[in-house]
Amino acid sequence: MKTIEELFEEVKKDEKLKEEGIAAIQAGKLGAFMKAHGCEASEKEALAFVKAKAEKAGIPLFFL
């Protein structure tokens, strides 16, 4: 199984995965996206990770 960080790195490198991930967050289905891509972290853990990365980069996440 992948960690959140490992999946995040894959998503950063793949535009299709990035689009799928954003759509999953917007649809409230991030947990299903994570499992489909080999990561068993909870949706709550994943959202916290994404928010922390965005805040650190100064990117507003208005859809979360």
Task: Give per-residue pLDDT as tens, 4-14.
Answer: 999 999 998 99
Q: What are the residue ranges spanned by the domains of the chain? A: 4-55
3 state DSSP class of 4? helix
DSSP letters along 14-64, please?
Answer: -HHHHHHHHHHHHHT-HHHHHHHTTB---HHHHHHHHHHHHHHHT---TT-
Instruction: Output the CA angle 32-19-50, nearest 5 degrees.
Output: 65
Task: Give per-residue pLDDT as tens, 5-62.
Answer: 999 999 989 999 999 988 998 898 988 999 999 999 988 998 898 888 888 888 776 6
